[in-house]
Structure 1
Amino acid sequence: MGNTSSMLTQYDIEEVQDHCNHTFSQQEIVSLYQRFCQLDRSGGGFISADEFLSVPEFAVNPLSQRLLKMLYGLNFKEFVAFLSAFSSRATLQQKIEFIFKVYDSDCNGKVAFSDMLDVLRDLTGQFISEQQREVGFYHKFVSIFYFSYA
């Protein structure tokens, strides 16, 4: 499975299914493998940042640089596990863990106020000032927290 020129065996497919908690069917895994091989133009068994950025939908995503950090050096099995958070069969826990990793900018296992501001900065770019971003986020956060526990 490390060599992208080879075909997946039934064992490989089942191993990938187990690794991603069966969020993809066997046919979906075969399709994902074909797409992985298309993206892996170097044939090294990994998809580089440039290869990921060749996907237009990924390249224009404001969080693409953040996602690239998560994708760096993934082989096919890890690639499928990464994508499993987007599957309709993924559990809420899997989706939350994925989102947490996106927001945990410094990879310290915590999402701090600064991490949230980093994500907002990525999403809003130069459209709002840093002060507007901080004040707006703080007020929104306080109101959500207050109404959630009131």
Structure 2
Amino acid sequence: MGSTSSMLTQYDIEDVQEHCNQLFTQREIVSLYERFCQLDRNGKGFISADEFMSVPEFAVNPLSQRMLRMLDGLNFKDFVALLSVFSAKASFPHKVEFIFKIYDADGDGKVTWNDVLEVLQDLSGPFLSVEQRQEVVNQAFKESGYSIDYMLTLQDFLQLWDKTGLTMEVEVPVD
């Protein structure tokens, strides 16, 4: 499975299924492998940030730069594991952990008021002023019962997102 030009063996498929907690069928894994090979233009066995940015839907995502730090250099197993968060079968905590990592820009396991403000800036662009963004984040922290100097943990995130009815699902096309 090191070279993208090779075919997946049954063992490889089962290994990837185990790595992603059985969230994809064997046919879906084969389909994802074909997409991985298309993205891995250099055939090196991993996808670079530039290759991810070649996907139009990803490139226009306002959070793409934040996600790139999680994506750059993914091999196929890690690519499938990352995509597993978008499976209808993925658990709620698995999905929230992914969102948490997007907010936690420095990877210290905590999300600060500034982290939330930066995500809102990425999402709103020039449509909200600095003051408007600050007010939105202040209000969100206040309504959630946190002070602006509180650092949110993954557990806090789970509790906050539990009230949202979060769904993040993408269907894997199977040819």
- Note whether the superposition's TM-score is higher than 0.5: yes
Does the 8 Å contact 1:117/1:134 carry over to 2? yes
AA paired with 2:119? V
**In percent, how many aligned pairs have the same letter?**
65
- Which consecutive unaligned segments of at least 5 residues does structure 1 have? none
Tell me what 2:43 maps to. Answer: 43
CA distance in 1, matches of 2:87, 2:57: 17
What's the TM-score, normalizing by structure 1? 0.93
Tell me what 1:87 maps to. Answer: 87
Tell me what 2:122 maps to. Answer: 122
CA distance in 1, matches of 2:103, 2:139: 19
Does the 8 Å contact 1:39/1:52 carry over to 2? yes
Does the 8 Å contact 1:105/1:118 carry over to 2? no
What's the TM-score, normalizing by structure 2? 0.80
More helix by share: 1
Tell me what 2:58 maps to. Answer: 58
CA distance in 1, matches of 2:13, 2:118: 37
Does the 8 Å contact 2:113/2:137 carry over to 1? no
User: Between Structure 1 and Structure 2, how many residues are aligned?
Assistant: 147
Tell me what 1:71 maps to. Answer: 71
Report the RMSD for the aligned CA atoms in angstroms: 1.4
Tell me what 2:8 maps to. Answer: 8
Could you say what secondary structure the match of 2:126 adopts? coil
CA distance in 2, matches of 1:137, 1:99: 17
Say which structure, 1 or 2, has more relative contact order (CA 8 Å, 6+ apart). 2
The alpha-carbon deviation at position 128 of structure 1 amounts to 1.2
Q: Tell whether 2:14 aligns with 1:25.
A: no
